[in-house]
Amino acid sequence: MPIRLEGDLIRTAQVEGGAALERVISLVWPEAYRISASILRDRGLAEDAAQDACVAIVRALPASHDPRAFYGWSYRVIVNAAMSVARRRRTVEPLEALDDRRVLFDSDDSLDLADALSALPIAQRCAIVLHYYAGFTSREIAESTGLPRSTIRFHLMLARGRLRKALSSDRNHLRPTQKQEVYHDVL
């Protein structure tokens, strides 16, 4: 469920803080966690990224002049936080994380998509999530990530092709086995 903030909540949070700020966090947190988990595929890292994103949002909120821009801005913050966590902790996916996939993803369809997504480099994952989930254009993704628009378009083209191929092929086409170590490339 994309982030939806009621009425003047942003303005109230900016002026009064307190309970309104906590309300903003309570609405942003689940989305920040879900998006981070879909990109990072690790519950601990997803919590770290979601918390980093919420901290950044709380800190920058008072300076935000246009509450209408909150939606797009918050997604940029969330995805950038996930990328930062991935860069800070470039690791081999622990084997138990493969067992944890069932905890994160509630259906085979979701698991297939998650496996296809995890086969992509982090930057492509972020671009794909921003494009297909948050509805960002390549220009908006370029502004969010600081990468050239041509690079984003290239990422999207590659990622789109890989996703379609993966989703159209056998269910287990890209699913890692227990014996594999899955390396996540960071751009």
Partner 1 sequence: MYSDAQISSRFAAMIAGIEAPVSPASDILLRASRPDSRPSRGGPPVAGMAAVAAAAAGIVLAATPLVAPGLVAPLAARIAELMQWTPPPSPPKSVNAAMVPRLVSLATARSLVTFRIVPPTGLPRDVVSEKIFATPIGVYSKITHAWTVGPPSLTFSYRRSNGREFQFSAEKYDPHAGAPPKYLFDADETGPNGLPKRHEHFAWRNGDQSMSATEDDDLATAEIEAVRAAMHGTPLRRATSRAELHSGVIVKQYRIP
What is the spatial distance between Cα 97 and Cα 15, in angstroms, rounded to a whole number?
A: 42
**Residue 17: left (phi > 0), alpha (psi -120 to 50), or beta?**
left
Cβ(10)–Cβ(24) under 8 Å? yes
Q: How far is the CB of 68 from partner 1 (least distance, A)?
A: 22
Q: What angle separates helix 95-104 from helix 43-60, to the nearest 10 degrees? A: 70
Residue nearer to partner 1 on the CB measure, 6 or 106: 106
**5 near partner 1, judged by CB under 8 A:** no
Radius of gyration of the chain (CA): 17
Please report, as residue ranges, which positions from 143 to 182 form the binding site for partner 1 (by CB under 8 A).
Answer: 160, 163-164, 167-168
Per-residue contact track with partner 1, 8 to 47, x per CB under 8 A?
-------------xx--xx--xxx-xxx-xx----xx--x
Q: Locate 183 and state its tokens.
A: 């390396």
CB of 44 to partner 1, least distance (A): 8
Q: 148: helix, coil or strand? A: coil
Whole-angstrom distance, CA of residue 187 vs CA of residue 182: 16
Using CB under 8 A as the binding rule, the residues of this chain from 44 to 83 that contact partner 1 are 44, 47-48, 50-52, 54-55, 58-59
Query: In the complex, what is the shortest distance from the CB of residue 53 to partner 1, in angstroms, rounded to a whole number?
Result: 9
User: Rounded to the nearest whole angstrom, what is the least distance from the CB of residue 168 to partner 1 in the complex?
Assistant: 6
3-state SS, 99-136, equals: HHHHHHCCCHHHHHHHHHHHCCCHHHHHHHHHHHHCCC
Q: Which residues bind partner 1 (CB under 8 A)?
A: 1, 21-22, 25-26, 29-31, 33-35, 37-38, 43-44, 47-48, 50-52, 54-55, 58-59, 88-89, 91-92, 94-96, 104-107, 109-110, 113-114, 128-129, 132-133, 135, 160, 163-164, 167-168
